[in-house]
Amino acid sequence: MMATSDIEPGEVIVSVPKQFLICNDTLQKVYGQHPLSMHQLLALHLCFLKRDPNSWWKPYVDLLPSHFNTMPVKYPKILADHLPTSLKDEVSQQIRKLESDYASALRFLKMRNLHETVSYEEYEWAWLCVNTRCIHMSTMDATAKGGNIAMAILLDFLNHSWEAKIESGFNVRTQCFEIRTLTPYKKGEQVFINYGPHDNMAILREYGFVIPDNVFNYVSLDQEVWCLFDEMETARGSRLKKAILEKEGDYSIKRREISFRLLSALRLLAIDGSNSRVALDQRYLEWQGAVMGETEIISQDNERRVLIMLKSICDRVIQSASDEQKTLLGINSNEPQKNGVHPFALRFLHQIWEETEDIARSTVLDIEERIGQMI
């Protein structure tokens, strides 16, 4: 969507009247009171709208995507096998949610004695339309289950940029869903909205694309850190130290940034369990002090061990990311569309691994600089 004239901060760039929203009010007029969540029923309703050649909504439905083959939830196995572990787990959860919602929709049709039914493929398409294009109404509605969301014409013409600043919501006074830009635009420039501070893996999972130079990108090292505890500790030592951390998770690196939780976990792992009981208890107290912000580090020796361990993890990530990129290039050379692989899906996944390697390499450079300063 392009600016036809200069746009000042604070201007409303889109205003969609309520009659052009498929919202809870719309659905209640058709289905009455119902047990489904808004996402479940919106998807089911879209299935029926798509079938109806005389629907008032037909021009809108015709503009919805014909497929979602760039979304990981639709990847064929040859591509899905090469998703990063954390993303693969999230996509599996998304598939289970979709299947559960489909089962709920079929039960609803049976309960209402509706003779129409929908195939999984139909419902999957509609569910993904809702997932990628719904808006949040920002008004209280106790009858809207699972979040007060709606579908709206026009809004999916606006592309995402992490730099865009907007305010959006349903304006009760005007009875319109409005988007107000806080970013100025010149005539002829593309106008953007902002889906939120998401890294590329989240954007790929939820919307099926990635963006260049995403400042929110990070690399999760949850699995690598948890495995390192098992590699470096005795079974008992690993179990005790993991119990102190309470849970796995949030161990991540970004460009020029190592998460505090990651450093805390590695500092705990770097405590030498061969010391005397008194010395070990003292080290644990020092570790707790570092966690609570009372001291910056446990000791220079401990910190050096932390950096060496983190470098070894990053080296593994770099090697893995490099191998995955080579494998994906091999899929590309074998005419991906013959394997059911969308070329953009292949390109986006390659970019994810490229960014992973880039962040890990940047972290290694930072680590080497820090170690050099300790000598």
Longest Cα–Cα distance in the chain: 81
Co-location of 86 and 160 in the same domain: yes
**CA distance linking residue 175 with residue 61, whole number of Å:** 23
| Residue where one domain finishes, among candidates 207, 241, 263 | 207
Co-location of 62 and 145 in the same domain: yes
For residue 180, give the H/E element and its range: strand 176-181
**Residue 4 within any structural domain of the chain:** no
Co-location of 241 and 346 in the same domain: yes
Task: Say if residues 151 and 41 touch (Cβ distance below 8 Å).
Answer: no
pLDDT tens across 283-329, in order? 778 788 777 777 788 888 889 999 999 999 999 999 999 999 999 99
Sequence letter at residue 287: W
For residue 17, give the H/E element and its range: strand 12-17
Q: What angle do CA 88, 325, 339 make, to 5 degrees?
A: 70
277: domain CATH number is 3.90.1420
Q: State the total domains in the chain.
A: 2
Task: Say if residues 367 and 314 touch (Cβ distance below 8 Å).
Answer: yes
**Per the structure block, which two tokens stand in for 186?**
């010149």
Name the one residue in this structure whose structure tokens are 């037909």. 58
Q: Percentage of the chain with pLDDT > 90?
A: 65
Co-location of 203 and 228 in the same domain: no
Co-location of 201 and 223 in the same domain: no
Co-location of 117 and 240 in the same domain: no
Name the one residue in this structure whose structure tokens are 């990530």. 317
**Residue 3 within any structural domain of the chain:** no
pLDDT tens across 158-208, in order? 888 888 999 999 999 999 999 999 999 999 999 999 988 999 999 999 999
**Residue 213 within any structural domain of the chain:** no
**CA distance linking residue 305 with residue 285, whole number of Å:** 18
Q: Mean pLDDT check: name the lowest of 106-115, 132-141, 237-246.
A: 237-246
Co-location of 239 and 281 in the same domain: yes
200-207 helix and 343-374 helix, angle to the nearest 10 degrees: 160
**CA distance linking residue 176 with residue 20, whole number of Å:** 9
* Domain enclosing residue 291, as ranges: 219-374
In sign, the C-alpha dihedral spanning 182, 184, 187, 189 is: negative
Q: What is the pLDDT of residue 278?
A: 59
**Average of per-residue pLDDT values in the chain:** 90
pLDDT tens across 38-80, in order? 999 999 999 999 999 999 999 999 999 999 999 999 999 999 9
Co-location of 293 and 154 in the same domain: no
**Residue 212 within any structural domain of the chain:** no
What pairing do the DSSP bridges indicate for beta strands 252-254 and 219-220? antiparallel
The answer, yes or no, to whether residue 276 has pLDDT greater than 60, is no
pLDDT tens across 143-171, in order? 888 889 999 988 888 888 888 999 999 99
**Residue 127 within any structural domain of the chain:** yes
CA-based radius of gyration for the chain: 25
Co-location of 42 and 148 in the same domain: yes
**CA distance linking residue 95 with residue 222, whole number of Å:** 22
Other CB atoms within a 10 A radius of the CB of residue 40 amount to: 23
- Report the predicted TM-score, pTM, of the whole model to 2 decimal places: 0.88
**Per the structure block, which two tokens stand in for 319?**
């090697």
**Residue 288 within any structural domain of the chain:** yes
Task: Say if residues 99 and 121 touch (Cβ distance below 8 Å).
Answer: no
Other CB atoms within a 10 A radius of the CB of residue 160 amount to: 15
**Residue 7 within any structural domain of the chain:** no
Co-location of 196 and 231 in the same domain: no
- Burial of residue 220 (CB within 10 Å: 0-12, 13-18, 19+) is buried
**CA distance linking residue 211 with residue 204, whole number of Å:** 9
